[in-house]
Structure 1
Amino acid sequence: MFDNFKLEVIELPEANLRVRHGGYGPPLLLLHGHPRTHTTWHLVAPLLSQHFTVVCPDLRGFGQSSKPIDPYDYEASSKRAKARDCIALMRYLGFDRFNLAGHDRGSYTAFRLAMDHPINIMKLALLDCVPIIEALERCRVQFATKWWHWFFYAQHNKPEQAILADPISWYGGSIEAMGVENYMDFLNAIKDSETVKGMLGDYRAGLQVDYKHDLHDRSIGKKLQCPVHLIWSERDDLPELYDNLIQIWQPWSEHIVTGSSIDSGHHMAEDSPMELAEQLLTFMSK
């Protein structure tokens, strides 16, 4: 897994991140979603590393990266804090400007990173997401039914108890779908109580400080300054919830937002790695 990539834990000002990086060419930072770790990219990253220097961290709170001490410290679990980690990480590796792609919860960190640090981001790919504020303001019965976990995970204590009672049944996943090493890394994460709390902190911050950050940016007319490309899964529920993802994202961008679907379930890096790598390469290389 990740042939010719380097694996290390990097100490940064606010967090220690477990990171894999390798390849040649312009830098590309890949941010995973919930409940995955950076190993979700194990089939995509080697393909992209032929054209880019690919960096895959475990986000703060996830995997084997450090965890906020208090799972209800919304600032410590915020996308803004995680964005600062990403800037520090890329500078540590020698990159001031870089391409960026984020999936699921990682897409929210990617969005905040591009909003807060526009001069550092060259291009932004957002996978399976709409802005947090847009999801919450458009919330209806269908959203609350399909994405009920957003609100459950934000509660105190009960989510941890439910998940840790039987993490495998709760989250699903299999060796066949994920590959042996990726599955084992995922398994170690979901069975660790501190990691589960760290992952839940991402949702708790989402309904608190992250929403407020989005609201403030919209109120002052702040927009993404880099080219933006959306990729969404045909076999996930975003197309059912939203008629036009590009239309939702366009007001958040100074550039014309592009996008396309991919024949995949939600975990597209594992389901359709070659198609995803091709789409990212096409967008990032323009």
Structure 2
Amino acid sequence: MFESFTSHTIPVGNGIEIAAVKGGSGPPLLLLHGYPQTRACWRKIAAPLAERFTVVAADLRGYGQSSKPPGGADHAAYAKRAMAADQVALMRALGFERFRLVGHDRGGRVAHRLALDHQSAVERLAVLDIAPTATMYAATDREFATAYYHWFFLIQPADFPERMIANNTHYYIRHTLASWCRTDGAFDEPVLRHYVESFFDPMAIHAACEDYRAAATIDLVHDAESDAAGVKLTMPLLALWGSRGIVGRKFDVLASWREKSAATVSGHALDCGHFLPEEAPEDTLKALLDFL
């Protein structure tokens, strides 16, 4: 999927290794994927981005080929703070102290925390198809809970969701991808197989559940602490979302990010569902190039 890129597996501390691909030349750009995916979600736009940037597409902790530690009693191993620190260490190991950052879905939440905790490292930030986590939880009602049922399923105590998903991983992952996608042909069979097979490892299922458990617990604590301390994003921010998904219908996306930012916030909807880089790659690429 990344034929012109080199593969790397980088130790980032505490026994964690982060897998990534790197390609192109120019200013460094880090791409972070969402759930239930891997760095493969950038396969349609990574090469064009690499014509302008040195592109690093990484697997988050717990996903793809990166390390998958146990979550721990307080889920701290999958706090976005820990997952963000992985990516800062990855970029430093590759020689980049400061970089542009794009995150989709879970990767957007990691990117948000990374930009709060490591402001000097992030030159520009783009978040795809998310509003801030606390904002979304606070607006929970029947419509949101129905569309985002997985937020409430995956956070159930271990190992209930793990066992349910492991019972038929093939069906669960394919159903999840199909139910959030609004564009025919966004996923071909090889990439669907790749996403499914990435969850054949029981620790990958556990890690994804821990990612969401952390989002409903320790991440909210960290976010509240940042808000109470008046910490805001200081770099320009771009928010993109799918016009046929729940985020744009349920939330004022730009207003929600302006509450978190002391810098310029811009963005718009694209004609697609949740998976912007795969459903609307040309429009996503144009918006990112214009912003980055």
TM range (shorter): over 0.9
Q: Which residue of 2 aligns with 1:202?
A: 211
Q: Which residue of 2 aligns with 1:162?
A: 164
Q: Does the CA contact (< 8 Å) of 1:125 and 1:228 recur in 2?
A: yes
Q: CA deviation at 1:73?
A: 4.5
Matching residue's letter, 2:90: L
Calculate percent identity across the aligned residue pairs: 37
SS at 2:64's partner residue? coil
Identify the match of residue 228 of structure 1 among 233, 237, 252.
237
Q: Which residue of 1 aligns with 2:43?
A: 42
Matched, 1:250 2:258: yes
Taking structure 1 as the reference length, what is the TM-score of the superposition?
0.95
Q: Which residue of 1 aligns with 2:55?
A: 54
SS at 2:192's partner residue? helix
Q: CA deviation at 1:168?
A: 2.3
Q: 1:92–1:24: structure 2 CA closer, same or farther, 3 Å change rule?
A: same
| Pairs within 5 Å for 1:46-195 | 46-70=47-71, 72-156=73-157, 157-172=159-174, 173=177, 176-195=185-204
Taking structure 2 as the reference length, what is the TM-score of the superposition?
0.93
Q: Which residue of 1 aligns with 2:181?
A: none
Q: CA deviation at 1:204?
A: 0.5
Alignment partners' CA distance in 1, 2:192 and 2:172: 15
Alignment partners' CA distance in 2, 1:20 and 1:183: 20
Q: CA deviation at 1:78?
A: 0.6
Alignment partners' CA distance in 2, 1:79 and 1:63: 17
Larger mean Cα displacement after TM superposition, 225-234 or 254-263: 254-263
Alignment partners' CA distance in 1, 2:42 and 2:74: 29
Q: CA deviation at 1:190?
A: 2.1
Aligned residues: 283
Alignment partners' CA distance in 2, 1:35 and 1:71: 21
Alignment partners' CA distance in 1, 2:35 and 2:132: 16
Q: Does the CA contact (< 8 Å) of 1:97 and 1:120 recur in 2?
A: yes
Q: Which residue of 2 aligns with 1:2?
A: 2
Matching residue's letter, 1:283: F
Alignment partners' CA distance in 1, 2:146 and 2:70: 31
CA offset digits 1:41-71 (Å, max 9, x no partner): 1111111000000101110011111012236
Alignment partners' CA distance in 2, 1:12 and 1:181: 30
CA offset digits 1:137-173 (Å, max 9, x no partner): 2222222222121111011211111111112221224
Matched, 1:268 2:268: no
Alignment partners' CA distance in 1, 2:72 and 2:59: 17
SS at 2:216's partner residue? helix
Alignment partners' CA distance in 1, 2:173 and 2:195: 10
Q: Does the CA contact (< 8 Å) of 1:128 and 1:231 recur in 2?
A: yes
Alignment partners' CA distance in 1, 2:210 and 2:271: 31
Matching residue's letter, 1:70: G
Q: Does the CA contact (< 8 Å) of 2:173 and 2:196 recur in 1?
A: no
Q: Which residue of 2 aligns with 1:212?
A: 221
Once superposed, what is the RMSD of the aligned Cα atoms?
Answer: 1.6
Q: CA deviation at 1:271?
A: 1.0
Q: CA deviation at 1:72?
A: 4.5
Q: Does the CA contact (< 8 Å) of 1:71 and 1:197 recur in 2?
A: no
Q: Does the CA contact (< 8 Å) of 2:235 and 2:264 recur in 1?
A: no
SS at 2:120's partner residue? helix
Q: Does the CA contact (< 8 Å) of 1:61 and 1:68 recur in 2?
A: yes
Alignment partners' CA distance in 2, 1:230 and 1:262: 11
SS at 1:252's partner residue? coil
Matching residue's letter, 2:261: S
Larger mean Cα displacement after TM superposition, 146-155 or 110-119: 146-155
Alignment partners' CA distance in 2, 1:16 and 1:123: 25
Q: CA deviation at 1:181?
A: 4.2
Matching residue's letter, 1:263: D
SS at 1:190's partner residue? coil
